[in-house]
Chains A and B, each alone.
With several copies, the nearest count.
Chain A
Amino acid sequence: MNVLYFAWVRERIGLPREEIDTSAATVADLVEELKGREERYAVAFSDLSALRVAIDQELSDFDAKLEGVREVAFFPPMTGG
């Protein structure tokens, strides 16, 4: 699965995207898996209320299932306009 990071999430994790081999059932499961890997993930995902997630380029939420998903992106609340 392609996992993307934007803005300060990207900076904290230290890369814009990576290919992750996972059997996580939901976004929340994937986050737990990443937090267990290394400190930088634990820091980036320490407060989920400050994060947003998109699944296959559509805004979603942390309860969403990952079956069949090709791309997951994590980022802070958007500041366009």
Chain B
Amino acid sequence: MRVAIQAGPFDPGRESAVFASGRKDVGAIVTFTGVVRDTGDASLEAMEIEHYPGMTEAAVTAIAQEAQDRWSLADVLVIHRHGRLVTGDMIMMVATAARHRKDAFEAAEYLMDYLKSRAPFWKREVTAEGASWVDARDEDEDALSRW
């Protein structure tokens, strides 16, 4: 298991290539990568991600540990950035490795649902018209109820 909370960029291609390589008990690898995208109305100049140093690492590690307890996983990876990002930048990624695809898919979705609503990050969108904090969405909170 590896958890990295960092300001700097990461290379999802290299990360997924390294992840779970050389293991003979892995049949399925799922990755999710989150990307800063234009939100529509006003063109996005930047996405600023604030976090809670100390708690962030503990909360993300606890979420990853819970995924390992619930599913039969060979390995778990979570990388999440903070600071100022622009459109097209990778915000975060998770990867799960398992014998079977069902475990790998479900664990990756679980990780994403919990990282969305239970890890102490706050997004702020900066556009030409000003900056605003991204509101938590009801559907993200609702997504937790399926686990």
Which residues on A are within 8 Å of B, measured CB to CB?
Answer: 4, 6-8, 10, 54, 57-59, 73, 75-81
Contacts and interface: CB of A to CB of B under 8 A. Distances in A.
Contacts of A58: 55, 58
Contacts, number: 71
Contacts of A73: 52, 55, 120
Interface string B100-125: 01000000000010011111111110
B34 interface: yes
A58 B61 CA distance: 12
Interface of B: 34, 50, 52, 54-55, 58-59, 80, 91-92, 101, 112, 115-124, 133-136, 141
Which of B119, B120, B121 gathers most chain A CB within 10 Å? B120
A8 B133 CA distance: 7
| B interface: dominant SS | mixed
Nearest to A10: B50
B52 A77 contact: no
A8 B54 CA distance: 20
